Structure 1
């Protein structure tokens, strides 16, 4: 069953929510925006939530406000970082609440992962093919969100996020729920030898068997490789101690589903950004 369920309501942005989590854990909000239901103009039409593309800032801010209104959270709760495709994860306190929601300059700088135990903070990260990783510890009431492109994946941002949850808030990996959100799929993600070598090195680090490696990356006759970033991150989550039964994995490909999602690769880099969010009410 697809964990990210499309929500279409008249007059609101189209969203994809992790319904199994929201049904089981009252007070949690978590999901992923689409490209539909905003005010931006082409090529960012219409729900672009990225301030770092060439969209009008006032349109982006309005789109972010529309997301807040749709999920019933105050706009000043939404907290953004300036992502750099690394594996640095930070703890977000009430001091950082609301950073980055109206400008890049005010965002939490040079971070790709965020965790918090504070209620009333909505963690946000931006995507247009990379893998959104959601984390929730229902025992210690800790949430996390990480941005895993191929670089963040091979740098094992999954482990970095879980380690910080453990050291800061006492989370046990076996208690943590994780979800892998909409991102470019193995059907569409062709990479070169440089990327492939880094992926193979990451798989070697976790002692992946040959058949496990084939489920992540396969060579092609043209000398390129097809990469399954979602499966790579699932294996990294399990290696970090997350139970397989606690991992939700989407089947949605941002490149295939261009009616619903922006895709940096498919659209040649001139496109908008979706937002992944998670928060404790």
Structure 2
């Protein structure tokens, strides 16, 4: 199982240059990917902008949107051109697009995007991406990655499963437990096979972490406000399930690896780039 690292964009950051330093250190310490989350009505940085900066500062590490609120990008052709441009800046086989319909209604209402049609918007956008990746959208910019950057889809609905099975490389969960994997992946595999796909869908999931003497407090400060919209119980669950010690981290890595996870993205909750080195040390790298 590969291990990626998620940037702490949901935490209380103040210097965007820290994200680039996180990525440099992640590449130097051997992490497989650097991932960026997405949320509109929060201080979370815009994912494609961040990944453009990261692409310019690194050479090998994969760049992942985990996950992009795709229906908010209503000009599908412009979005496709942005993705193709980033694919060229990064170089072949580095960019991986995790896309989801989203579930925070206020992000859509504020944007003037009809919430109830977000799934249809996502499907339409994916169709335009497919045409653009195959040089059929009139952009005249073929992808740097042959066939275009691989698409991953978040969510566990029937529509999400359909998207993975028909258009995707795999499933990308912004957060998921081992129990979630055990319950969901067989459904996904059945749909994958039913659509005539060979091999297996790639399974990527994420877990929150912080490490060091103030790890628990860093998690509380970052996750509590970020998940407050979903209620106190959900926010507390996020805080309680975060990994805050080397022993918890190594145990979680082993458990995810044993239950069908192909890549685990460990998402930071302390903005200090030193967290990257502490995590690598905890993993024994």
TM interval, shorter chain, is 0.3 to 0.5
**Which of the pair is proportionally richer in strand?**
1
TM-score (norm 2): 0.34
**Which of the pair is proportionally richer in helix?**
2
TM-score (norm 1): 0.34
